[in-house]
Amino acid sequence: MAAKDFLPISKEDMQKRGWDALDFILVTGDAYVDHPSFGAAIISRILEKEGYRVGIIAQPDWRNRKDFQRLGRPRLGWLVTSGNIDSMVNHYSAAKKRRSRDAYSPGGQAGLRPDRASIVYANRCREAFKGAPVIMGGIEASLRRFAHYDYWSDQVRRSVLVDGKADLLVYGMGEQAIRQIALGLKEGRSIEELSNIRGIVYTANSLEGLENNLMLAGYEETARDKGKYAEAFMLQYNNQDPVRGKTLVQPHADVYVVQTPPARPLTQGELDAVYALPYMGTYHPVYEVQGGVPAIEEVEFSLVSSRGCFGSCSFCALTFHQGRIIQSRSRESIITEAKKFTWNPRFKGYIHDVGGPTANFRQPACSHQTQRGACAHRQCLFPRPCQELVVDHADYLSLLRELRKLPGIKKVFVRSGVRYDYVLADSSREFLRELCEHHVSGQLKVAPEHISAKVLEKMGKPGRRVYDSFVSEYFATSRQLGKEQYLVPYFMSSHPGSGLREAVELAEYIRDMGYNPEQVQDFIPTPGTLSTCMYYTGLDPRNMEKVYVPKNPHEKAMQRALLQYRNPKNYRLVLEALQKAGRRDLIGYGPKSLIPPPKGKTEQAKGLPAAGKTDGSKNARGRRSAGAKSAVPERGRRSRKPGV
Question: Please, which pLDDT band fits residue 376 given cuts at 50, 70 and 90?
Answer: confident
Length of the chain: 644
Confidence of residue 606 (pLDDT cuts 50, 70, 90): low
Name the nearest CA neighbour of 58 among 7, 18, 92, 21: 7
Is the pLDDT assigned to residue 239 strictly greater than 60? yes
Contacts of 569 (CB under 8 A, 6+ apart): none
Q: How confident is the model at residue 607 (pLDDT cuts 50, 70, 90)?
A: low
HSE toward the beta carbon, residue 471, CA cutoff 13 A: 15
What is the DSSP secondary structure assignment for residue 548, as one 8-state letter?
Answer: -
Query: What secondary structure letter does DSSP report for 483?
Result: -
- Residue 526 makes CB contacts below 8 A (sequence gap 6+) with 86, 89, 143, 151, 317, 532
What is the DSSP pairing of strand 486-493 with strand 443-449? Answer: parallel
Domain 301-441 has CATH 3.30.750.210: yes
**Helices and strands, counts by H and E, the chain:** 24, 22
Average pLDDT over residues 36-56: 98
Over residues 306-365, the pLDDT tens digits come to 999 999 999 999 989 999 999 999 999 999 999 999 999 999 999 999 999 999 999 999
pLDDT at position 486 over 50: yes
Residue pair 299/22 in contact (Cβ under 8 Å)? The answer is: no
Reported as a single tens digit per residue, the pLDDT across 491-548 is: 999 999 999 999 999 999 999 998 888 778 999 999 999 999 999 999 999 999 999 9
Q: What is the pLDDT of residue 616?
A: 34
**What span, in angstroms and rounded, lies between the C-alpha atoms of 591 and 584?**
14
> Hey, what's the torsion of the CAs at 199, 205, 209, 215, to 10 degrees?
60
Residue 221, CA distances (Å) to 147, 230, 259, 466, 523 in order = 10, 11, 19, 41, 27
Cβ neighbors of 375 (< 8 A, separation 6 or more) are none
The pLDDT value recorded for residue 610 is 45
For the chain, the distance separating the N- and C-terminal CA atoms, rounded to the nearest angstrom, is 41
Q: Are 537 and 226 in contact (CB under 8 A)?
A: yes
- Mean pLDDT for 552-556 is 96
Least confident window among 273-277, 329-333, 371-375: 371-375
Given a cut of 90, is residue 611 above it in pLDDT?
Answer: no
Mean of per-residue pLDDT scores for the chain:
92
Residue 444 pLDDT more than 80?
A: yes
Whether the bond between 262 and the residue before it is cis, its omega within 30 degrees of 0, is: no
Average pLDDT over residues 30-47: 98
Residues 141 and 81 sit within 8 Å (Cβ to Cβ): yes
pLDDT at residue 629 tops 60? no
Q: Is the pLDDT of residue 609 over 80?
A: no
Handedness of CA 537, 137, 309, 379 (dihedral sign): positive
Q: How many CB atoms neighbour CB 82 within 10 A?
A: 31
How confident is residue 640, by pLDDT bands cut at 50, 70 and 90?
very low
Q: Tell me: the pLDDT tens digits for 99-148?
A: 999 999 999 999 999 999 999 999 999 999 999 999 999 999 999 999 99
Choice among 486-495, 537-546, 628-637 with the minimum mean pLDDT: 628-637
- CA distances (Å), 541 to each of 213, 227, 232, 377, 513, in order? 21, 9, 9, 12, 34
State how beta strands 168-170 and 200-204 pair.
Answer: antiparallel
Local confidence band at 618 (pLDDT 50, 70, 90 cut-offs)? very low
**Residue type for 618, please?**
K
What kind and span of H or E run contains 328? strand 327-328
Assign 21 a pLDDT band (cuts: 50, 70, 90): very high
Residue 156 has pLDDT above 70, yes or no: yes
b/e per residue 395-415 (b: at least 16 CB within 10 A):
ebbebbebbeeeeebeebbbb
Task: Kindly give the pairing relationship between strand 200-204 and strand 255-259.
Answer: antiparallel
CA distance 104 to 106: 7
Domain boundaries, the chain: 11-259, 301-441
Q: How high is the pLDDT of residue 57?
A: 98
Q: How many angstroms separate the CA atoms of 624 and 393, rounded?
A: 37
The answer to whether 330 and 272 are in contact (CB under 8 A) is yes
